Chains A and B, each alone.
Chain A
Amino acid sequence: MKKILTTMTALGVGCLLAAPLIASTPDEDLATWRAYFQKRFPQVPAEDFANGVYSIDPVGRENWEAIEEFPPYEAAIENGEEMWNTPFANGKTYAECFPDGPGVEGQYPHWDKEKGMVMTLPLAINNCREANGEKPLKYKKGPIADLLAYMAYESRGQVINVEIPADDPRALAAYEQGKQFYFARRGQLNFSCASCHVGNSGTTLRTEILSPALGHTTHFPVYRSKWGEMGTLHRRFSGCNKQVRAVDFPAQGEEYRNLEYFMTYMNNGMELNGPGARK
């Protein structure tokens, strides 16, 4: 009996030690992710995945291009610019928190070593507001989506380059949590994010073509015709979770920030093209 217990313990410890060797690295994940979508949609040029479902739906693309001639997010950009330039009650502006100017979306999300968490742009905006004595904005829609639209517009063309610093294992843990969230089935319908946007990407859900996951974070915030207004990335996450009949998570909570970290890492090398317009 003792011998069996010893053998089992040794095996368990061996497995634990071997686990990091067996698990894939973020770079390997990225290579698999890219290869999967490029093989699944060989007709789509790599950079065109940034256009979401319109990279694989020629009819939808025609409509979208027509919409982009008079973009529905234009008013949001103007409102956002006004917010950027309007001083807080203490006389300071957002520029004090973002010295590189409004076009900084390419720097987010990033691992904040000091805080030990993934820092997203909306969270940084609210941190800025609170540091200047202003109330934080709600995270899903409204003024924050306007300000993000302006900042995204000013960031167009920047190349996504999310880093997972090797000197802080918590960053890799956050990435892994985001990855687990992406592939975990949830809700009464037992769907994961990947069920629709990886395994069934390019097929239809009723009349809608399911977009490939590659390029999903490039164009936020978006004006969605379904919403009739602008919305943030975490609003979209929340909507997807509810659609599969799961209770959603708080916008800018740890779950969605880590998810954003993983998804944006998977888009490394792609250009930002937000704000966007979607159905």
Chain B
Amino acid sequence: MAQAPVNKNLNFGLASAYLGCEARPEHERSPDPMKTQTLTMRLIIAALLIAIPATSALATTRQEAEEVIAEARTQHDKAIAAGAADSQAEQMIEEATALLSTRQYTKAKMIAYWAIRQTEYALQVQSGAAVVEEDKAAMAESLIAAAEEARKKAASVGGEWIAVGDMIKNAQTLAGAGEFDKAIDEANAARFQAERGYEQSMAEKDAGFPQYMLNFVK
């Protein structure tokens, strides 16, 4: 029975990779490309052994999301009892809860976390532990309103960009948590994008067959 030719080097290389031992004697060794390949393969396996469990450890579980939502509810109930309830926080808790059925646990956890931040800030303001920077709060509120107006203007001509709505929502969340500087930045960025969207739509209102197309077929 004919036997298939065996590539001995390849066999040694594979054996080394899987068994972790060196099959050839020391004096026979030479700078072998297979050796480099073996080392690379070992490194990849080691990296995967670390990276794969680490990835799953980073994912949010339903239980984790539920825990943060529960904490947000507890804080919110406390705020209601203290007369410092924040309607935005309540909406966010509802939004986070609704996300559980869609298995978006990381997003739910993040929204619940921000609801906690909002409630904590409302309680701090009420107890006097935090002082509202009235000028910044007013500026944030006015810029958020301006951004929303710009968004509506862009939407009225079909030119709204996709991130603008979320940016306005972020600005509202930040302002609700007392982070007025960040809220102002976010609102300004949202208004900038909304205005560019409107300008783009106006500039394109007479769009038609482009010149390159007409030239190409001449």
Q: How many A-B residue pairs have CB under 8 A?
A: 72
Asked if B145 CB lies within 8 Å of chain A CBs, one says no
Q: Return the contact of A188 from the options B161, B201, B210, B217 (Cβ within 8 A).
A: B161
Q: What does the 1/0 interface line of B200-218 toward A look like (CB < 8 Å)?
A: 1100111111101110110
Q: Return the contact of B205 from the options A29, A180, A192, A245 (Cβ within 8 A).
A: A180
Q: Return the contact of B216 from the options A39, A183, A247 (Cβ within 8 A).
A: A39
In B154-169, the 8 Å CB interface with A consists of 155, 158-165
Residue numbers in A under 8 Å from B155 (CB-CB): 247
| B211 shortest CB reach to chain A, Å | 11
In A238-264, the 8 Å CB interface with B consists of 242, 245-247, 249, 255
Q: What does the 1/0 interface line of B130-160 toward A look like (CB < 8 Å)?
A: 0000000000000000000000000100111
Residue numbers in B under 8 Å from A187 (CB-CB): 161-162
The size bracket of the interface on B is 20 to 34
Q: Return the contact of A198 from the options B165, B193, B207, B213 (Cβ within 8 A).
A: B213
Specify which of B159, B201, B206, B207 lies most central, judged by the most chain A CB atoms within 10 Å of its CB: B207
Q: Is there an interface contact between A185 and B161, defined as CB atoms closer than 8 Å?
A: no
Q: Is there an interface contact between A184 and B162, defined as CB atoms closer than 8 Å?
A: no
Q: Is there an interface contact between A39 and B207, defined as CB atoms closer than 8 Å?
A: no
Residue numbers in A under 8 Å from B193 (CB-CB): 188
Q: Is there an interface contact between B162 and A183, defined as CB atoms closer than 8 Å?
A: no
A35-B217, A188-B193, A190-B200 given; A29·B209 CB < 8 A:
yes
Q: Is there an interface contact between A185 and B200, defined as CB atoms closer than 8 Å?
A: yes
Residue numbers in A under 8 Å from B216 (CB-CB): 36, 39-40
Q: What does the 1/0 interface line of A125-166 toward B look like (CB < 8 Å)?
A: 000000000000000000000000000000000000000000
How many residues on chain A are close to B (CB under 8 Å)?
Answer: 27
Q: Which residues of A contact B (CB under 8 A)?
A: 23-24, 29, 32, 35-36, 39-40, 179-180, 183-188, 190, 192, 194, 198-199, 242, 245-247, 249, 255
Q: Which residues of B contact A (CB under 8 A)?
A: 155, 158-165, 193, 197, 200-201, 204-210, 212-214, 216-217
- Chosen A-B contacts, 10 in total, with CB atoms closer than 8 Å, are A36-B213, A180-B204, A183-B207, A184-B201, A184-B204, A186-B159, A188-B193, A198-B210, A245-B162, A247-B165
